[in-house]
């Protein structure tokens, strides 16, 4: 067990959650709850993987993955924005749809080796003691993109005019409408953005963090964890990024517990009987539950919460939000 390795690996796996959770934050900030993240991620992972295989270029794969996630999310947009269907059920069906499409189209991809996203060191920064090896060396380029992306997303949401429009549509669509902001347009746009980022998160798995296509095992519930992370992060991109990294590190730490024969001077039960590993595999999900309970209590205390119009369809000229 090595602290540097745990931190390093945590940043890499955390990047997956970072993209997916920030994408979901964009969608939810506009008032659209999209529970289809898992499906969009899986479709993105498959699309990116197969495109990279076909074209020999991982970057093209990444773009196709984002388009795949985005286009799939538009189905959710159409059903919830125009048809005013229930967002929970629509999101769930998006997960079924994405999973089904990914499995059908991904038939026979297992065991292939397409080009992946390059792993690089950042010159100079990687020389810093301790921080250098953890933060700035031997990471996939996508991890560095994540570093920059999270603060940019936060700046966009809180400090720019379109970001203010986004928040307005999610908090009080009728007021936004009177200001001449297109509520439907904004919602479609950020649903699409959320889908693209979920697709990117999927491709981050299949083309970078753990390259390969293992059908539903590729994402193994991380899309759902990302949805939980959004609540934990209270719809703040920076908190989502830190939450994602923390989660990745804890996950790696728990896995590494299986390594040593002795733990604090006692025989390590996980080492003696590998079946106890099943309890370790539960931990990410247990942690998500704990994080959610903790986050929900903090939110109630501070009276912070979801965007007011989250999950509520907007119909012009009707009473409501």
Partner 1 sequence: MNLPYTVIFEKRTADYPKWLPAVTSLLSVIVAFIISGIVLKIIGGDPLRVLKFFFTATFGSWAVFSDTMVKATPLIMVGLACAVAFKMKLWNIGAEGQFYMGAFFSSLVVLVPMVNLETTPKFIVIALMMIMGMIGGAIWGFIPGYLKAKYQVNEIIITLMLNYIALYWNNFWIFDKWSDAGFQMTPQFEKIAWLPRLSDLAKEYKAFSGITLHLGVVFGIIAAIIIWWILERSHWGYEIKLIGDNPQAARYAGLNITKNLILVMMLSGALAGLAGMSEISGVVHRLQEKISPGYGFTGIIVAWLAKLNPFAVIIVSILFGALIVAGREIQPSGLSNLLQGIILFMVISSDVLLRYKIRLVRLEQEA
Q: Which residues of this chain interact with partner 1, rule CB under 8 A?
A: 35, 39, 75, 79, 83-86, 88-90, 92-107, 221, 224-225, 227-228, 231, 273, 275-276, 278-279, 281-282, 285-286, 288-289, 292-293, 296-297, 300
127 vs 216, which CB is nearer to partner 1? 216
Angle formed by the axes of helices 277-302 and 237-256, nearest 10°: 150
83 vs 264, which CB is nearer to partner 1? 83
105 vs 120, which CB is nearer to partner 1? 105
108 vs 265, which CB is nearer to partner 1? 108
The beta-carbon contacts of 95-98 under 8 Å, at least 24 apart in sequence, are 95/35, 95/36, 95/37, 95/38, 95/39, 95/223, 96/39, 97/36, 97/39, 97/72, 98/36, 98/38, 98/39, 98/40, 98/41, 98/42, 98/43, 98/72
CB of 24 to partner 1, least distance (A): 12
CB of 223 to partner 1, least distance (A): 10
CB of 288 to partner 1, least distance (A): 5
Query: In the 8-state DSSP scheme, what is residue 118?
Result: P
- Give CA–CA dist 19/146, Å, rounded: 7
152 vs 290, which CB is nearer to partner 1? 290
- Give CA–CA dist 132/111, Å, rounded: 34
Residue with tokens 């990471």: 139
Q: Are 257 and 18 in contact (CB under 8 A)?
A: no
CB of 281 to partner 1, least distance (A): 5
CB of 112 to partner 1, least distance (A): 16
- Contacts with 33 (C-beta within 8 Å, 6 or more apart), sequence order: 27, 87, 88, 91, 310, 311
Burial classification of residue 177, based on how many CB atoms lie within 10 Å of its CB (0-12 exposed, 13-18 middle, 19 or more buried):
middle
CB of 222 to partner 1, least distance (A): 11
CB of 110 to partner 1, least distance (A): 12
In sequence order, the β-bridge partners of residue 120 are 139
CB of 178 to partner 1, least distance (A): 22
Question: For residue 26, what is the enclosing H or E element?
Answer: helix 3-29
From 160, 126, 143, select the one nearest 241 (Cα to Cα).
Answer: 143
CA distances from 16 to 3, 24, 179, 187, 188 (A): 21, 13, 36, 24, 23
135 vs 231, which CB is nearer to partner 1? 231
97 vs 141, which CB is nearer to partner 1? 97
CB of 64 to partner 1, least distance (A): 17
178 vs 273, which CB is nearer to partner 1? 273
91 vs 142, which CB is nearer to partner 1? 91
């Amino acid at each position: 067990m090595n602290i540097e390795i745990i931190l390093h690996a945590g940043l890499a796996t955390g990047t997956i959650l970072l993209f997916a959770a920030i994408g979901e934050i964009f969608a939810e900030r506009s008032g659209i709850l999209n529970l289809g993240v898992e499906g969009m991620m899986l479709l993105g992972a498959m699309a990116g993987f197969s495109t990279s295989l076909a074209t020999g270029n991982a970057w093209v794969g990444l773009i196709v993955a984002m388009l795949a996630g985005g286009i799939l999310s538009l189905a959710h947009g159409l059903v919830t924005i125009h048809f005013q269907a229930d967002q929970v059920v629509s999101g769930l069906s998006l997960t079924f749809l994405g999973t089904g499409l990914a499995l059908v189209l991904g038939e026979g991809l297992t065991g292939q080796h397409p080009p992946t996203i390059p792993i690089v060191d950042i010159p100079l920064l990687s020389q810093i003691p301790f921080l250098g090896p953890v933060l700035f060396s031997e990471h996939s380029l996508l991890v560095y993109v994540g570093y920059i992306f999270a603060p940019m997303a936060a700046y966009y949401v809180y400090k720019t005019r379109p970001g203010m429009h986004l928040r307005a549509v999610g908090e009080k669509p009728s007021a936004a409408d009177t200001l001449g902001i297109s509520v439907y347009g904004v919602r479609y746009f950020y649903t699409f953005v959320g889908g693209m980022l979920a697709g990117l998160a999927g491709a981050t798995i299949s083309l970078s963090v753990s390259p390969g296509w293992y059908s539903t095992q590729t994402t193994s519930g991380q899309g759902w964890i990302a949805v939980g992370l959004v609540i934990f992060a209270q719809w703040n991109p920076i908190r989502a990024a830190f939450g994602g990294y923390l989660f990745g590190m804890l996950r790696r730490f728990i896995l590494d517990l299986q390594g040593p024969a002795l733990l604090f001077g006692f025989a390590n039960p996980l080492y003696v009987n590998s079946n106890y590993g099943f309890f370790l595999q539960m931990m990410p999900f247990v942690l998500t539950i704990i994080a959610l309970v903790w986050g929900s209590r903090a939110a109630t205390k501070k009276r912070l919460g979801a965007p007011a119009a989250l999950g509520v369809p907007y119909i012009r000229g009707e009473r409501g939000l």
